[in-house]
Amino acid sequence: MSSKKRRCRHCPSRASNQVMSCRSIGVRCCFLFAALSSLLTGCDPAGDQQLDNATIAIVIPYRPGGGFDRTVRAFAPYFARQLGAGVTVLPENVPGAGGRRGAAKVYRARPDGTTLGIFNLPGFVLPEVLGEKVDYDLRELSWIGRLESQDYVLLISAASELQNLDDVRAADEISFLSTGYGSSVLAATQIIAERLALTDKSPIYLAGYAGTADYLVGLIRGDGNVAVGPVSTSLKYIESGDLRPLAVTGDGSSLPGVPTFTELGFADLAALDLQRSIAGPPGLDAELLTTLREAFLRAVADPEFIATARNARLDLSPLAGAATAAEIEESFTFYETFKTNLKNPNAL
Amino acid sequence: MPDSLFVAADYLSQGANLGYLVLGVAVGIVFGSIPGLGGATAIALLLPLTFGMEPDQAVILMGGIMGAVSIGGSVSAILLNTPGTAPNAATCIDGYPLTRQGKAGLAIGAAATASSIGGIISLGILVAVLPVARTIVLWFGPPAFFMLAVLGLTSLTVASGNLLRGLIAACIGLFFGFVGYDDIGGTARYTIGIDFLWDGISIVPLLIGLFAIAEMMNLYRTGGPISASDDGDTVKVVGTMDGVRSVFANLRTLISGSAIGTVIGLVPGVGGTVASFLSYSFAAQTSKNNENFGSGDIRGVIAPEAANNAKDGGALIPTLAFGIPGSAEMAIFLGVLILHGIDPGPMLLIERESTIFMLILALLVATLISGGVILTSARHLARIAHIDSMLLIPCVITVSFVGAYALHGSIGDVFIAAFFGMLGFVMIRFDYPRITLVIAFVLSGLMERNFIQSMIMFEGDWRRFFGDTTTLVLFLLTLCALLIPIVNRVRTRRSTR
């Protein structure tokens, strides 16, 4: 994600060969802002009186063991450190209804800063875009900052007869492998299929795999012939030579030697990515929100956290709270464009 | 390979590292024996403790927990008819009748020994198949998974004694297994407007209700202690050593149980519950003089216990080589590995061979230590079966509800446990096999998802199921599972004539 040749979603006019993207500028600004705020508040991390000795729960809307759980558990101690000595930050798993229970818990929480949550984009955007009944509204949440972001890669098996994107587009039968309906991966797959004009071939969507690793192994086994995976999870299968990457989303390739969709002529797929961001309930007091956002920025700039994140293979791509809120708005606009392509391909 | 093994052994034998292992074993036994807690909770709780550790030390601690949990879980299965963890459910079938006959020591001795030796055999098999493990994992696509679920369900229903009641129990299990959001069809089923039910019914509160609570309700009805034997300490002590000996007297059951456990463990996403049930039904159907299975045959304890420890060895392969966890505890263990910078995937077997051996050795030593602990404390543990029901019932019910709540911190799980407690009591009264309900419930998701995926793959042509070799072999095994009891019955009739 740290590529230097990225077209930015915030400023599409920025040329692809410009040295820095808006996102990387954003990241640098985050660090600069964190450093400045540290200077202004002295060496001791700023604690806010409203949060003195508070216990803050970061709601993970899934069961322990997944990527969200890992991210929050790695981040919580560093966030607590930046909020002041008496503050405790605890991960709290609230699984249920495909994450909606946890999201609703954050949405309905008292806006006192003691209940925050981690949200997956576009995972939590999609039900709203598709008009499903949900007990939250992402646009009303108080966004504290983005932790992770990663691009998608289009994959085929190394044993496949197909060699490149043109072969995939020319193939008679396309069978995509993916997780179930409502997942970010299936939505990304459907969007890519639409843009590559593969929907004309009535592709099979072999959805319902339990996780990313499951369908990538299915691709190696030959259950289907094409899949779209988040770059970090797919990397190990690419490095082992089991899977072959054909193209990546984003403005600059996060996989050396692999072209971006933009370079192959599908520029509107550049914005397709997967993000994990932290938010609190709607109506957080402005001062409290600023405290949380500043602590967030200092935590993500903490070299110890960066080392932990690298170790834990987090796709760290910090973004400040206000920019994260703008990103959410853009996600809605982006996915609304593809709304008609996002219906369940296996609906009875 | 030998170098890595010695490096791992040397590292494990160092003072602090051995200490972490013992800590893991202690936590594993306690969490395993309390219904509802289990290995996943133990690993999640100890996770923050590993932040300051070296990655290999974290692996050792977690190996200690995983090696000990299933042995701990067998104790409550035998004494209280309440599996501490889901894979121990099959141990209830013969373990609890033995307790009622005053032979709790015999059952615990056999369970601890079978678990320990099963674990060792499995690790031996694992080391041998490590070079071809990848191929085995790749044999199992959606059609093979579906047929494996059919095999599991068929064997258990056939083994349940009364076929009609077995089928009814299986249908009830399948029905409850279908509750929740179907992410292929994109619909919520039988959720009656309750968000909590979107993710389906969790296996742990179901087991707690069906076994612990139902059993306590039944005990309240019958009164007195669990054990029918008035005999005191002598029976139990002698029984424990008899239990150890019985494992060596039934080597065939032990080896077949361990082999089934390892192979099922290798198949990603199937888990130990299926392994122990399949092992049990294989033993019940293929053993000579099998009329006592279900009413207190020691082989009915040896087979599932050998399998449920053996499956841990097998389950390491899909978890480590592909990052696909076979169970909840493996999923959290996967998180621990990643947090420590060990990224499970195809390269791990090559890049971090010593870490894998460290885990294998930790599991092995944990199995042996926990087996030893259970054996030496069996005499005291068996006293539980002699406690008066008026004291035992409130304690077990309280622990059961707390366990159900502790799983996800959700009151919904407590209601689920209470509901299945009542259902379990009705099933006891009318003699319906609860175990068949459990296995159908466990297999329902696997069966349905893979059936639908197979039909999508085959574009609706079911005949293509038989084009896949693994599926065909599993189909033939399913036919065998159906035919063996008929053949046995015909043989018995002929011999009585």
**Averaged pLDDT, A9-14:** 39
Over residues B217-237, the pLDDT tens digits come to 988 888 766 666 555 444 444
CA distance B132 to B339: 28
| pLDDT the model gives residue B36 | 63
> For an interface test with A, which of B339, B350, B459, B468 has the most A Cβ atoms less than 10 Å from its Cβ?
B339
Query: Which residue in A92, A95, A207 is closest to B184 by CB distance?
Result: A207
Q: Considering Cα of B172, then B189, then B41, then B274, what sign does the dihedral take? A: positive
| A143/A160 same-domain check | no
Rounded-to-integer distance, Cα A66 and Cα A217, Å: 18
Write the CB contacts of A234 (distance below 8 Å, at least 6 apart in sequence): A153, A155, A212, A216, A243, A245
CB B104 within 8 A of CB B227: yes
Whether the CB of B340 is below 8 Å from some CB of chain A: the reply is yes
Provide the domain limits for residue A145: 22-149+274-337
The residue-averaged pLDDT of B243-271 equals 83
Residues 6+ apart with CB under 8 A from B33: B72, B73, B75, B76, B84
Segment among A210-214, A312-316, B193-197, B332-336 with least mean pLDDT: B332-336
Average pLDDT estimate for B119-127? 79
A108 close contact with B: CB closer than 8 A? no
Question: How many structural domains is chain A composed of?
Answer: 2
Maximal C-alpha separation, chain B: 71
Query: Is the pLDDT higher at B161 or at B127?
Result: B127
Q: Do B199 and A311 touch (CB under 8 A)?
A: no
pLDDT for the residue numbered B345: 65
A218, A250, A271 — which closes off a domain? A271
**A246 to A108, A238, A271, B330, B347: CA distances (angstroms):** 43, 11, 17, 32, 21
Q: What is the mean pLDDT of residues B136-164?
A: 80
For residue A38, name the pLDDT band (cuts at 50, 70, 90). very low
Cα gap B266→B310, rounded to integer Å: 10
Q: Please name the residue of chain B whose CA is at the shortest distance from the CA of residue A209.
A: B449
Alpha-carbon gap, residue B248 to B260, rounded angstroms: 18
Q: Search chain B and give the residue with CA nearest A77.
A: B48
Region of B108 on the Ramachandran plot (φ > 0 left; ψ -120 to 50 alpha; else beta) = alpha
pLDDT for the residue numbered B40? 74
Of the candidate ranges A70-79, A106-115, A116-125, B11-20, the one whose mean pLDDT is the lowest: B11-20
Q: Are B404 and B38 in contact (CB under 8 A)?
A: no
Contact assignment for A181 to B335 by CB distance below 8 Å: no
- Has residue A15 been placed in a domain? no
Tell me how close the Cα of B334 comes to any Cα of chain A, in angstroms.
7
Q: Which candidate, A109, A113, A119, A117, places its Cα nearest to that of A92?
A: A117
**In which element (H, E) is residue A245 found?**
strand A243-248
Rounded Cα distance between B34 and B465, Å, is 42
Flag if B183 and A69 touch (Cβ within 8 Å): no
Separation between Cα atoms, residue B194 and residue B53, nearest integer Å? 42
pLDDT category at A4 given cuts 50, 70, 90 is: very low
Nearest-CA distance B395 → chain A (Å): 28
Does residue A248 sit in the same domain as residue A167? Answer: yes
- A positions 280-299 inside 8 Å of B (CB): none
Does residue A306 sit at the B interface (CB-CB below 8 Å)?
no
Beta strands in A35-174 (DSSP E): 55-60, 88-93, 115-121, 142-157
Residue B301 or residue B233, greater confidence: B301
- State whether A179 and A195 are in the same domain: yes
Distance, CA of B187 to CA of A20 (rounded, Å): 44
Residue A248, helix vs strand vs coil: strand
- The reply to whether A295 and A263 lie within a common domain is no
Q: How far lies B245's CA from each of B239, B250, B288, in Å?
A: 10, 9, 19
Predicted confidence (pLDDT) per residue in A166-178, tens digit: 999 999 999 999 9
Place of tokens 């012939």: A225
Q: Are residues A218 and A128 in the same domain?
A: no
Does the pLDDT value for residue B317 go beyond 60?
yes
Comparing CB atoms, the residue among B185, B335, B341 nearest residue A64 is: B335
| Nearest in space to A120 (alpha carbons), one of A61, A186, A189 | A61
The B residues from 445 to 484 touching A (CB cutoff 8 Å) are: 449, 452-453, 456-457, 459
Nearest CA in chain A to B136: A221
Among B51, B196, B459, select the one facing A96 at the smallest CB separation: B196
Of A2, A4, A87, residue with least CA distance to A44: A87
Does one domain contain both A123 and A35? Answer: yes
Would you state the pLDDT for residue A10? 39
At residue B358, what is the residue type? M
A101 to B198: CB separation less than 8 angstroms, yes or no: yes
Tokens coding B487: 């053949």
Evaluate whether residue A2 is within a structural domain: no
Confidence of residue A189 (pLDDT cuts 50, 70, 90): very high
pLDDT at A188 over 60: yes
Sort out which chain A residues have CB atoms less than 8 A from B51's CB and list them.
77
The DSSP 8-state label assigned to residue B186 in this structure reads T
Last residue of a domain, one of A227, A249, A271: A271
Question: What is the predicted pLDDT for the residue at B105?
Answer: 84
Q: What is the rounded distance in angstroms from the CA atom of residue B94 to the CA atom of residue B71? A: 16
The C-alpha atoms of residue B451 and residue B464 are separated, in whole angstroms, by 12
- Helix, strand, coil shares of chain A, percent, nearest 5, are 45, 20, 35
Q: What CATH number does residue A254 fall under? A: 3.40.190.10
User: In Å, how far from its chain's centre is CA B442?
Assistant: 11
Taking Cα atoms as reference points, which of A273, A16, A270 lies closest to residue A5? A16
**What is the distance, to the nearest Å, from the Cα of residue A29 to the centroid of all Cα atoms in its chain?**
20
Is A188 found in the same domain as A267?
yes
Q: Count other Cβ atoms within 10 Å, centred on residue B491.
A: 10
Angstroms from B60 CA to nearest CA on chain A: 18
Residue A17 has pLDDT above 60, yes or no: no
Tell whether A137 and A121 lie within a shared domain: yes
* Distance between start and end Cα atoms, chain A: 38
Residue A158 forms contact with B (CB below 8 Å): no
B350 pLDDT more than 70: no
Chain B closest CA to A12's CA: distance in Å? Answer: 35
Do residues A283 and A239 both lie within one domain? no
Q: To 10 degrees, the CA torsion angle through A336, A341, A344, A347? A: 130
Closest-CA distance of chain B to residue A122, Å: 17
Q: Is A262 exposed, middle or buried (0-12, 13-18, 19+ CB in 10 A)?
A: buried
Contact B339 A242 (CB under 8 A): no
**Closest Cβ–Cβ partner in B47, B185, B268 for A346:** B185
Residue A55 lies in a domain: yes
Q: B346 and A211: CB-CB below 8 Å?
A: no
Q: What is the mean pLDDT of residues B144-150?
A: 86
Closest partner residue to A312 (CB to CB) among B40, B142, B341 is B341
Q: Any idea what the CATH number is for the domain that residue A45 is in?
A: 3.40.190.150
10 Å Cβ neighbour count for B285?
18
CB contact under 8 A, B141 and A221: yes
Closest Cα in chain A, distance from residue B52 (Å):
11
pLDDT of the residue at A248: 95
Residue A204 is assigned to a structural domain of this protein? yes
Same domain, A214 and A327: no
For the stretch A234-277, pLDDT in tens is 888 898 899 999 999 988 888 889 999 999 999 989 989 889 99
Single-letter code of the amino acid located at A203: P
User: What are the DSSP calls for B416-444, one per residue?
Assistant: HHHHHHHHHHHHHHTT--HHHHHHHHHHH
H helix intervals, A196-230: 212-221
Residue B238 has a pLDDT of 53
As a residue count, chain A comes to 348
Residue with tokens 């598709």: A130
Higher pLDDT, B80 or A221: A221
Q: Give me the number of domains chain B comprises.
A: 1
Domain match, A79 and A125 both = yes
What is the pLDDT, as a whole number, of residue A210?
78
CA distance readout (Å), A96 to A53, A133, A341, B413, B416: 30, 15, 26, 12, 15
Instruction: Report the pLDDT value the prediction gives residue B182, as an integer from 0 to 100.
Output: 84
pLDDT in tens, B77-87: 888 887 777 78
| pLDDT, mean over chain B | 81
Number of A–B residue contacts, CB under 8 Å: 142
**Cβ pair A66:B335 closer than 8 A:** yes
Percent of chain B with pLDDT over 90: 10
CA distances from B297 to A237, B109, B145 (A): 47, 14, 31
CB contact under 8 A, A347 and B196: no
Nearest-5° Cα angle at A276, A288 to A143:
25
Three-state SS at B93: helix
A73 to B452: CB separation less than 8 angstroms, yes or no? no
A8 within a domain of the structure (yes/no): no
* Strand-strand pairing, A55-60 and A115-121: parallel
For A70, the closest of B325, B338, B347 (CB atoms) is: B338
| A313 touching chain B per CB within 8 A | yes
Which residue out of A59, A62, A63, A92 would a mutagenesis test of the B interface target, given it has the greatest number of B Cβ atoms within 10 Å? Answer: A63
| Per-residue pLDDT, B85 | 77
- Tell me what the pLDDT averaged over chain A comes to: 83
Domain-embedded: residue A12: no
For B42-65, what is each residue's pLDDT tens digit? 887 777 677 678 888 888 898 888
Average pLDDT over residues B264-291: 78
Mean pLDDT over residues B310-335, rounded? 72
Instruction: Calculate the CA B486 to chain-centre distance.
Output: 28
Give A-chain residues touching B141 at CB under 8 angstroms.
218, 221-223
Q: Does B187 touch chain A (CB under 8 A)?
A: yes
Per the model's pLDDT, the better-predicted residue between A79 and B125 turns out to be A79
Domain boundary among A225, A241, A271: A271
Residue-level pLDDT at A7 = 40
Asked if B359 and B9 count as a contact pair (C-beta separation under 8 A), the reply is no
Conformational region of residue B224, where left means phi above 0, alpha means psi within -120 to 50, and beta covers everything else: left
CA distance, residue B471 to nearest chain A CA (Å): 14
pLDDT digits (tens, 9 = 90+) for B232-248: 444 444 577 888 888 89
**Residue A52 DSSP code:** T
Question: What does the pLDDT look like over A58-105, one tens digit per residue?
Answer: 999 887 766 788 889 889 999 999 998 788 898 888 877 778 888 999
Higher pLDDT, B321 or B140: B140
Residue-wise pLDDT tens digits, A191-208? 999 999 998 888 999 998
Rg, Å, chain A Cα set: 20
Asked if residue A180 and residue A140 are part of one domain, the reply reads: no
Inter-chain CB proximity A313 and B186 less than 8 Å: no
Quote the tokens at residue B269.
Answer: 């996403």
User: Which domain covers residue B344, as residue numbers?
Assistant: 2-496
Containing A246, the helix (H) or strand (E) segment is: strand A243-248
B186 touches chain A (CB under 8 A): yes
